[in-house]
Amino acid sequence: MSLRHLLRLKLLQVFPMVNFLSSAFSVFEAHSESSSACDKKSIRSRYLKWTAAVRKAVTIGPMRRFHERILGSARTGISNSTSDIWLLGVCYRISPDDSLVDFPTNGGLADFEHDFSSRILMTYRKGFSALGDLKYTSDVNWGCMLRSSQMLVAQALVFHRLGRSWRRQLQKPLDQDYIDILHLFGDSEASPFSIHNLLLAGKAYNLTAGSWMGPYAMCRSWETLAKCKREANDFENQPLPMVVYVVSGDEDGERGGAPVVCVEDAHRHCSEFSRGQADWTPILLLVPLVLGLETINPRYIPALRSTFTFPQSLGIMGGRPGASTYIVGVQDDKAFYLDPHEVQPVIDVGRNSVEADTSSVVRHMALDSIDPSLAIGFYCRDKDDFDDFCLRGKKLAEESKGAPLFTVTQNLPKPVSHSNVLGDSSEVSDSFEALPSNNEDDCSHEDDWQLL
């Protein structure tokens, strides 16, 4: 049976209301049988043009997701495993019965899919107001990292305003808080966290329209944009009601080795964010990493997988080389993600309504295929939540076998001056006994890290 006939049958089985497709096919077939040879050639030409248009329609936008759901390709990789799935800090235990059905109505898979579909999908857009010197009106082929970062920050806002247990109910009106969150990411300068404003904030990190950007520059751009919005609004009316803490280095230069989460740094950021009005505020932690050269070093994969078990998990900005996605979950050696590489027209996100389709089909990739340049996100609601994150981070570093993603400390050591190390210059010895020995074990992991 041809793909055309298979698709038509499945359409009629699942959605009888779309029998207009069947009628259209039948019209062409009927004419083909009763027409002359010349007419048949003309009809066939029109038929091919019409089917090409249909094929194009089902491969873009919502129709592409509709096509995938019917043919089953969107769920590849989750129906043949009974291993636990971790999705942004929540564990879904998959029973053997669930793995045998195509559209589960109970058990772990159904709950997982509902949770997954409640995450906000942001994709390429076309038709927004021009940006950059070249007057781009679309971010197709270059804005995937921007969109991935928007999804991660939007998820932090969902956790903050609606809670981790919130799910999108398709049969009910959308929560106003949810609509307000989407409004922040509209594609215009009027929306605080649009790609227009992100590019402006990222100029110092060479963010430009039409050029692909990396996770580190993206994290720093969010830090800059959040600071600008913080200074423009009072403490009670922040569009991003949390401090952005980029865990990758100090202001004078990046630290070598694993990034350090410093409790003192976090406290200072909170105090600055609240302008001294609060001892602690919610925190959005962004941890940009480079975990290898061309491919991710396998030693980091277990730790990377474990970050999704943190209740504070916001997932990962990353994906395959040159194609950023928003990774939100793991199962065995697979990573589940939201894909921004779908072109949709700009929509008007109103204060009281929304026309955007923000749900996504389930897609996955192999964990070891992820680009080594990525950024992990965490959201800590309060001091207790942050303390819990630090305990989990310390344990993760201890279990990393010398390859931690990041470490945690109470405070950073103060820089040591040369006088403190060598004493008075008149007493400097020619001996090198005081210097660290060339111990191969101490340097065995040095090649695995690059300066971010």
The catalytic site residues sit at 144, 339, 341
CA distances to 127, 163, 401 from 167, rounded to whole Å, are 30, 9, 37
Burial (Cβ within 10 Å: 0-12, 13-18, ≥19) of residue 92: buried
CA distance 258 to 451: 9
Nearest 5 degrees, angle CA 448-CA 450-CA 452? 140
Q: In this structure, which amino acid lies at residue 361?
A: V
Which DSSP helix (H) or strand (E) runs through 177? helix 176-183
Is residue 197 within 8 Å of 185, Cβ to Cβ?
no
CA distance 450 to 312: 26
| N-to-C CA span, the chain | 54
Is residue 148 within 8 Å of 325, Cβ to Cβ?
yes
Burial (Cβ within 10 Å: 0-12, 13-18, ≥19) of residue 98: buried
CA distance 93 to 363: 19
CA distance 101 to 44: 40
Is residue 304 within 8 Å of 367, Cβ to Cβ?
yes
Is residue 282 within 8 Å of 269, Cβ to Cβ?
no
> Which residues make beta-bridge pairs with 283?
243, 380
Q: HSE of 441 in the Cβ direction (CA atoms, 13 Å)?
A: 2
What's the token pair of residue 208? 């430009």
CA distances to 215, 218, 291 from 203, rounded to whole Å, are 15, 11, 26
Phi, psi angles (nearest 5°) of residue 350: -80, 165
Q: HSE of 254 in the Cβ direction (CA atoms, 13 Å)?
A: 18
Q: How many CB atoms lie within 10 A of CB 213?
A: 22
Q: HSE of 423 in the Cβ direction (CA atoms, 13 Å)?
A: 5
CA distance 318 to 364: 13
